[in-house]
């Protein structure tokens, strides 16, 4: 993109690319400059929101003084927005994007005219909630309560890499009501993250009014109770802000700066009016406001620019990130009954052993023994993070850490790693992360723990997230290959596994199918058995049962082919066409029958116009608590039931 023009501002604030925050003091000249910049910024905040007739001016005006003072101090380079040792700023209250864009423009990241004229314009990068496509923006937000977790992820990445720079997380005050913030606070204290500073724009107004009326909270006591230090300041006094940032950065404890501010600060008729949280000024009000601020009125000029906006002039969206160059080692071949969980644990331990210096991280939520992260811990204890029973925070932290270049594996039970954290993964995916979600205990296989713990929707839920690829291993050998495969790719993957031990799947000649000559190909289905009377398409632990079904049917002279569809989000169209040719397609899964493999396959076959008899076998309601085989039988998904159900259709 073009270098930023600065005509709108007296001069670029700050120029301290190499300087440590600790040595910095606020000169009188800077003070004057910041106060003039924030005043101009308020004018632009109002012009861009009125121009797009939407957005959030009130909070932008209460937070701009802190933001501008912060950027005067921190180590960022508009010419090299991605330099690794930069200080990072997370805007958790992403709706104050007008404040963020004016500050970044003042710092020289892009021309202020672009941000103002293209604000919330379809196709432009200057979206309503901040996004990393905008140079200088680290993390897309907007769903409140997640920003501190993202900041913790960045701070953790710096610690692990030995980078001595700072992370600042800006939040609203109403947002403090979200429980996830308490989880992030605890983690930061456990791991001594003295490189993170939080800021709360304490204007005491949220959408429905005074925060103490909407939901009383003791913000200061909450932070102190979780071991954070608190600095309380006047959020519109530049010297207070400057000194508070110094003190927070010097402090050995994670520190929050609670800044007492005024919503709509700077325009008399906007101040302390909650309606201006999300309402913009009309053009008459804008004129009055700009006069009161005594700043140039560029509204018509910006309006013209907006009408002339040509998408070709947009700066390209954030560059595609690259996979790590890891030694993925050699496959482990399992001859004996093994659970896929252990195969994952052994594979990641092997990768850790071969890549001791690589930026890898594994996150665990108090399930180390069950999700088999202990092998990795033994190899790379410094890269293993025990996050306790705090799944929401852990999901976001792992995503953010991966965006900062540390390939992250979040291991958990399916109901916690998928169902509980879906929205956290959705935001990570929007942030183009490199997150590997490894879930165990999925399907009916978890048996005795009952319906609250049976994750039978992992595919149905996660296929809503555009960038997440789901790969379901059929046995320990395929698990080993899949873990090595995803470890060599950049991007978001879900690998769901059951609990119980499985035999190594064999081909019809009795040889191990996923053996030495097997290479995992994303999107390719595996034909395990041939047969022209029908086809069973299965995934996960049910592939083994499908093979039993086929062999028993073969004894009765019924020959059905068996396919392993390990990539349900990238269906193998050739395999589907071949299966359809048998005239009788059966899908078989211990997943919700409405939303799983059968559903995806039906959809694809309809799209491809593959007509044939089609029957889905899956879970039709909440299952019970009991031994896995008993539960399968009661759900009519055991092999005997399936044989009966198939014969009824042939």
Which pair of structure tokens corresponds to residue 45? 């905040």
Alpha-carbon gap, residue 494 to 172, rounded angstroms: 32
- The nearest distance, CB 546 to its own copies, in angstroms, is 20
Query: Tokens 């990570």 identify what position?
Result: 428
596 φ, ψ to 5°? -100, -140
Contact 615, 644 (CB under 8 A): no
Q: Which is nearer to its own copies, 3 or 213 (CB)?
A: 213
Q: Which is nearer to its own copies, 400 or 631 (CB)?
A: 631
- The nearest distance, CB 19 to its own copies, in angstroms, is 34
- The nearest distance, CB 131 to its own copies, in angstroms, is 7
174-177 CB contacts, 8 Å cutoff, 24+ apart: 174/144, 174/205, 174/206, 174/207, 174/211, 174/214, 174/215, 175/92, 175/93, 175/144, 175/145, 175/147, 176/200, 176/217, 176/219, 176/222, 177/145, 177/215, 177/217
Q: Which is nearer to its own copies, 390 or 483 (CB)?
A: 390
Q: Which is nearer to its own copies, 171 or 295 (CB)?
A: 171
- The nearest distance, CB 141 to its own copies, in angstroms, is 7
Q: Which is nearer to its own copies, 119 or 513 (CB)?
A: 119
Residue 257's DSSP bridge partners are 199, 231
Name the 3-class secondary structure at 222: helix
DSSP letters for 275-303: GGGT----HHHHHHHHHHHT----HHHHH
- The nearest distance, CB 464 to its own copies, in angstroms, is 4
Which pair of structure tokens corresponds to residue 6? 């600065």
- The nearest distance, CB 408 to its own copies, in angstroms, is 18
Output DSSP code: residue 455: B
Q: Which is nearer to its own copies, 166 or 454 (CB)?
A: 454
Q: Which is nearer to its own copies, 57 or 331 (CB)?
A: 57
User: Dihedral angle at the C-alpha atoms of 498, 499, 503, 506, nearest 10 degrees?
Assistant: 10
Q: Which of 594, 531, 335 is nearest to 546 (CA)?
A: 531
Alpha-carbon gap, residue 514 to 340, rounded angstroms: 13
Q: Which is nearer to its own copies, 154 or 416 (CB)?
A: 416
Sheet holding 584-592, edge to edge: 526-532, 560-564, 534-538, 584-592, 613-619
- The nearest distance, CB 15 to its own copies, in angstroms, is 32
Contact 559, 533 (CB under 8 A): yes
- The nearest distance, CB 623 to its own copies, in angstroms, is 9
Q: Which of 406, 409, 402 is nearest to 434 (CA)?
A: 402
DSSP letters for 86-123: --EEEESSGGGHHHHHHHHHHHTSS-HHHHHHHTT-TT
Q: Which is nearer to its own copies, 180 or 544 (CB)?
A: 180
- The nearest distance, CB 421 to its own copies, in angstroms, is 8
Q: Which is nearer to its own copies, 545 or 591 (CB)?
A: 591
Alpha-carbon gap, residue 86 to 18, rounded angstroms: 9
- The nearest distance, CB 289 to its own copies, in angstroms, is 21
- The nearest distance, CB 507 to its own copies, in angstroms, is 30
Q: Which of 119, 139, 606, 614 is nearest to 404 (CA)?
A: 139
Q: Which is nearer to its own copies, 342 or 630 (CB)?
A: 630
Name the 3-class secondary structure at 615: strand
- The nearest distance, CB 447 to its own copies, in angstroms, is 8
Q: Which is nearer to its own copies, 13 or 169 (CB)?
A: 169
């Amino acid at each position: 993109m073009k270098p930023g023009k600065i005509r709108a501002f007296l001069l670029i604030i700050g120029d301290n690319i190499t300087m440590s925050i600790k040595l910095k003091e606020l000169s009188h000249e800077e003070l004057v400059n910041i106060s003039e910049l924030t005043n101009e910024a308020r004018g632009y905040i109002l012009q861009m929101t009125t121009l797009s007739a939407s957005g959030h001016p009130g909070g932008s005006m209460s937070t701009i003084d802190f933001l501008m003072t912060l950027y005067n101090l921190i180590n960022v380079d508009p010419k090299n927005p991605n330099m690794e040792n930069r200080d990072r700023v997370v805007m958790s209250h992403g709706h104050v994007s007008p404040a963020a864009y004016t500050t970044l423009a003042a710092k020289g990241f892009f021309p202020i005219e672009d941000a103002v004229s293209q604000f919330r314009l379809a196709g432009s990068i200057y979206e309503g909630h901040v996004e990393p496509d905008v140079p200088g923006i680290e993390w897309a937000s907007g769903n409140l309560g997640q920003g501190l977790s993202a900041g913790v992820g960045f701070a953790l990445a710096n610690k692990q890499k030995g980078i001595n720079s700072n992370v600042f997380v800006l939040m609203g005050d109403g947002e403090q009501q979200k429980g996830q913030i308490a989880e992030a606070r605890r983690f930061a204290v456990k791991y001594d993250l003295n490189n993170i500073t939080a800021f709360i724009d304490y204007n005491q107004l949220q959408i429905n009014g005074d925060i103490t009326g909407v939901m009383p909270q003791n913000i200061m006591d909450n932070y102190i109770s979780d071991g954070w230090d608190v600095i309380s300041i006047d959020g519109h006094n530049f010297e207070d802000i400057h000194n508070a940032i110094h003190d927070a950065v010097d402090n050995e404890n994670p520190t929050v700066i609670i800044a007492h501010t005024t919503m709509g600060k700077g325009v008399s008729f906007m101040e302390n009016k909650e309606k201006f949280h999300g309402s913009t000024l009309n053009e008459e009000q804008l004129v009055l406001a700009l006069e009161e601020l005594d700043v140039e009125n560029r509204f018509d000029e910006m309006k013209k620019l907006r009408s002339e906006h040509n998408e070709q002039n947009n700066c390209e969206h954030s560059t595609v990130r690259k996979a790590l160059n890891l030694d993925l080692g050699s496959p482990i071949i399992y001859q004996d009954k093994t659970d896929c969980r252990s195969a994952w644990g052994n594979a990641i331990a092997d990768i850790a052993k071969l890549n001791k210096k690589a930026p890898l991280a594994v996150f665990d939520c108090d399930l180390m023994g069950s999700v088999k992260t202990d092998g990795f811990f033994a190899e790379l204890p410094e890269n293993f993070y025990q996050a306790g029973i705090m799944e929401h925070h852990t999901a976001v932290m792992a995503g953010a850490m991966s965006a900062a270049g540390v390939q992250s594996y979040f291991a958990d039970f399916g109901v916690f790693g998928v169902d509980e954290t879906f929205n956290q993964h959705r935001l990570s995916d929007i942030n183009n992360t490199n997150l590997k979600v490894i879930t165990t205990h999925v399907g009916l296989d978890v048996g005795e723990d009952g319906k609250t713990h049976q994750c039978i929707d992992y595919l149905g839920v996660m296929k809503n997230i555009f960038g997440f690829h789901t790969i379901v291993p059929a046995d320990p050998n395929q698990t080993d290959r899949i873990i090595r495969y995803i470890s060599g790719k950049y991007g978001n993957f879900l690998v769901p596994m059951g609990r119980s031990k499985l035999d190594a799947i064999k081909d019809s000649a009795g040889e191990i199918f996923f053996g030495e000559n097997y290479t995992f190909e994303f999107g390719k289905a595996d034909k395990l058995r041939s047969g022209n009377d029908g086809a069973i398409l299965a995934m996960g632990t049910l592939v083994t049962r499908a093979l039993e079904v086929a062999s028993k049917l073969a004894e009765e002279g019924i020959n059905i082919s068996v396919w392993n569809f390990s990539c349900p989000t990238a269906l193998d169209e050739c395999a589907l066409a071949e299966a359809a040719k048998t005239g009788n397609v059966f899908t078989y899964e211990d997943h919700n029958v409405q939303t799983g493999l059968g559903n995806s396959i039906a959809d694809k076959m309809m799209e491809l116009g593959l007509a044939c008899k089609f029957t889905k076998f899956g879970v039709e309601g909440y299952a019970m608590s009991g031994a896995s085989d008993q539960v399968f039988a009661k759900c009519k998904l055991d092999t005997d039931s399936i044989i009966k159900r198939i014969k009824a259709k042939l």
